[in-house]
A and B are shown apart, each in its own frame.
Chain A
Amino acid sequence: LAKTTQPISMDSYEGQEVNITCSHNNIATNDYITWYQQFPSQGPRFIIQGYKTKVTNEVASLFIPADRKSSTLSLPRVSLSDTAVYYCLVGSSNTGKLIFGQGTTLQVKP
């Protein structure tokens, strides 16, 4: 499974757009990229997933360049409640096995 690397922490202010980039240099052809959000003492919550180009849903956008060696999660106009840990994962389509890294702790300030 492809290992992912993302920044340990990021700070932002309410109303700003936040972009968190993840690198996954040895991603395999069948792998999808998935992002989760986790609040303290809770299970992670699925945010978005993609294979290539751009995916958008009601909470975030995911940008994946053509070589798929990285991806960027974009959170528009963050609020204090978006303070959480964000995980980038690369999943195998064969096993469904997901490997969580250390994640990025996002701190949104007023």
Chain B
Amino acid sequence: DGGITQSPKYLFRKEGQNVTLSCEQNLNHDAMYWYRQDPGQGLRLIYYSQIVNDFQKGDIAEGYSVSREKKESFPLTVTSAQKNPTAFYLCASRALTSSYEQYFGPGTRLTVT
């Protein structure tokens, strides 16, 4: 089965702790993306990467960090510097040679208390 996996589906953390969200794809896609979605809102781009070992900030990168050491993996760390980390986090990937179709994972719902 080809696709994108995100784990875990639900994640609970205490305020002040860093937490890393996993995103893995076996679609052989070059580009990967992280989005945040708050209730009733659209998706906001956090970071994206078009090639291994390179990534760019999106619109709301403050308080987040990423790495792209492997083509298949693009983990997102939510640091304690992120003021309102509770949200639904979505990872996506895209083949740069094709259309703008992004394939999304099932998402991770992070709750920080």
Interface residues of B (CB under 8 A from A): 31, 33, 35, 41-45, 48, 50, 56, 58-59, 88, 90, 92, 94, 96, 99-107, 109
Contact = CB atoms under 8 A, between A and B. Distances in A.
Nearest to A46: B101
A43 B107 contact: yes
Interface of A: 32, 34, 36, 41-46, 49, 87, 89, 91, 95-103
A95 B94 CA distance: 11
Residue in B42, B50, B92, B107 whose Cβ sees the most chain A Cβ within 10 Å: B42
Contacts of B88: 41
A45 B41 CA distance: 16
Given A96-B48, A96-B94, A100-B42, A43 B101 contact: no
B50 A96 contact: yes
Contacts of A43: 90, 92, 104-107
Contact of B107 (A41, A46, A89, A96): A41
A44 B91 CA distance: 10
A102 B42 contact: yes
Given A41-B88, A43-B90, A96 B42 contact: no
